[in-house]
Amino acid sequence: MDFERIKKSIMARAKKYIPLLLLGFVVLPLSATNELLPIEELKPLDVGAAPLDARSYHYGLSAANTYINDSATLKSGLFLGNYRPYFRLVYNERHLLNLRGRVIYNYNNSLSDAQRTAGSAASTGQYALELANAEFNFDSHKLTAGRAFYKTGRGLLFANFADGAEYTGQFRYAKLTALAAYSAQYSGCTISLGGCGFSGQIAQKGVYDVTPGRTIDANLPDAGKRIFTSLEAQSPQYFGSSAYAMLFYSHDLDTSVVGTTNAATGAKAGQRYTFNPVYMGLGFSGFIVTPRLRYLTEGIYEAGTTYNRVNELTGTSQRVNVSAWGITGDVNYAMPFLESVLKPGLIFQYATGSGRQAKVATGANPALPAQQNDTATDNNFFYFGYYSAGLALKPKLSNLHVFRAGLQFRPLLHYHWGRNFMTVLKYSYYLKHNADYVISDPNAVVAKADVGHGLDAQLVYDLSSDLKIFYAYGAFLPGAAYLPSAEVVQIHVLSMNLVF
């Protein structure tokens, strides 16, 4: 019997499946650029010369227990429990079936007496089917169908769960990706991504969301009932870099018109919220001169149509064109100094986006795509994904420059027990494009350009393959765009993730 061949076959399979189990269900940020590896992005294992298992499966539970203290809104703390039972079937080491549920338990100890009197429950819960998809792989072609985590580009345009299908084909001169999905806002809670509530009220989408594929400071909008389609083409790598182009369209299924004014909700007769944007993007990624210096940059132009505020005289909303843009750029440099001791790296980030021409006194909200504009063209850069720009402020890239610089290192790399302990420190500076106009934070009510400064720190420790600890600290120091009475916002996030 050829024991050497059997040994090599076993080792090859172990190297294939162990990373699959360890990475597939982690819900904590594990890299300096705050990019997670969603389970759906784990590539199927290459078919080797050894005999194939016709079927193999994995199952278990990922449990993330998170405590959040926010000096602005959660002074007494918030507990978030996210428990995800999962099942994965691998057929011929090529095709995959993914099933994952999600049970959420929240306890908000920061509710005010007024909120409790109004009926808000401190203890809330929710459950939903988060993943239910099949992945088919045929050499250079891949098809994912069902409920999955879909992402366009770097995730700024779209990075969310949806029901649909995505095709990826690797051709000689380009890799093509096509997506068609529905935002899954069904009327039945058992199948909706919104899930079903229990033990009190139905839990609404909160400011914090511990979700694979997104950072803790990701602040995504409620997509509503929408159809998303996208086409992405990526070039091969030349001289260490590759380019990609994107075309992304979102069709709003809500075409209703408010019939009568409702003083309680603030709705006015004639309001229309239909928002149909189209995005065109171009990005570049790779390294410059040396693989130690890596970059990612993406530019997006937004067109389409939206509706202005209701005209008080005519009682109608005018449909207008959208003309907006956004730019992001990240640079990471793995320093050659003290590499065997600290493994240090430098981080530089810049992001910006055009803003709506609405003065701070109007109270217009850039987080809403319709019923906020009064001009002939809406220049507000609105997107359905996210960009990590600071835990305490969590800004949208509308009428804002975001400058960030940071350092990552592994201070215990020299010790075997501490080799997986990582520290990330970042400083942010926020500046308005136009001092007179609004940004995503409604508290910035002064017509000044200086928004403020942000400080972020992250500690990530992989104690073992099934136990990970994550701590994040965020602070925002208000600038001249805020009233003198504005306080410093501080946030602490402590999370422990167990995989059974």
- Please give the domain boundaries of the chain with CATH numbers for all domains: 3-499 (2.40.160.100)
Tokens of 41: 């992005």
Q: What pLDDT was estimated at residue 207?
A: 60
Q: pTM above the 0.75 mark?
A: yes
For the stretch 50-70, pLDDT in tens is: 455 678 888 999 999 999 999
Please give the average per-residue pLDDT across 128-142, as a whole number. Answer: 92
Please give the average per-residue pLDDT across 275-295, as a whole number. Answer: 95
For the stretch 18-51, pLDDT in tens is: 333 333 333 333 333 333 333 333 333 334 444 5
Is the per-residue pLDDT at 1 higher than 90? no
Q: What pLDDT was estimated at residue 118?
A: 78
Question: How does 320-343 read in b/e, with b if 16+ C-beta sit within 10 Å?
Answer: bebebbbbbbbbbbbeeeeeeebb
Q: What pLDDT was estimated at residue 53?
A: 66
> Among the listed ranges 120-134, 204-218, 372-386, 387-401, which one has the minimum average pLDDT value?
204-218
Which residues lie closer than 8 Å to 127 by C-beta, 6 or more apart? 101, 102, 103, 104, 195, 196, 198
Q: Closest Cα partner for 334 from 343, 321, 323?
A: 343
Is the per-residue pLDDT at 14 higher than 50? no
Burial status of residue 438 (CB atoms within 10 A of its CB: 0-12, 13-18, 19 or more):
buried
For the stretch 238-266, pLDDT in tens is: 989 999 999 999 999 988 888 787 776 67
The neighbour count for residue 89, using CB atoms within 10 Å, is 15
